[in-house]
Amino acid sequence: TQLLEQSPQFLSIQEGENLTVYCNSSSVFSSLQWYRQEPGEGPVLLVTVVTGGEVKKLKRLTFQFGDARKDSSLHITAAQPGDTGLYLCAGALSNFGNEKLTFGTGTRLTIIP
């Protein structure tokens, strides 16, 4: 059983469109991170959210942490081909001392020029 479920698993859209991907769990996380991974490379951190209801913006990317700290969303406005990649959410659980992250199942995003 996956602790963090991401949806959709795959998403292919045209350049310029908007999209939202989701990260859901039944567990409460102390913090949640979003990573992007490009082919042949390791994941790279995009953002960390800590407070329930928190919203963070990174240029065209908007990240939201659910009020109950069980879920998160990533919204991309006017998608660009450079946004193509595997998006992973990762949560830190307080019962593990917040030392390790549990990664989600991932959303593989393709932006078509």
Partner 1 sequence: DAGVIQSPRHEVTEMGQEVTLRCKPISGHDYLFWYRQTMMRGLELLIYFNNNVPIDDSGMPEDRFSAKMPNASFSTLKIQPSEPRDSAVYFCASSLVRGGEQYFGPGTRLTVT
| Binding-site ranges for partner 1 (CB under 8 A) | 2, 30-31, 33, 40-45, 48, 88, 90, 92, 96-106
Six-digit token string for 102:
């549990």
Which of 79, 89 has the CB closer to partner 1? 89
The kind and range of the H/E element at 33 are strand 31-37
Which of 47, 111 has the CB closer to partner 1? 47
Burial 66-103 (b: 16+ CB within 10 A, else e): beebbbbbbebeebeeebbbbbbbbbbbeeeeeeebbb
**Nearest distance from residue 45's CB to partner 1, in Å?**
5
Which of 22, 103 has the CB closer to partner 1? 103
**Nearest distance from residue 28's CB to partner 1, in Å?**
14
Which of 17, 38 has the CB closer to partner 1? 38
**Nearest distance from residue 7's CB to partner 1, in Å?**
14
Separation CA 34–CA 38 (nearest Å):
14
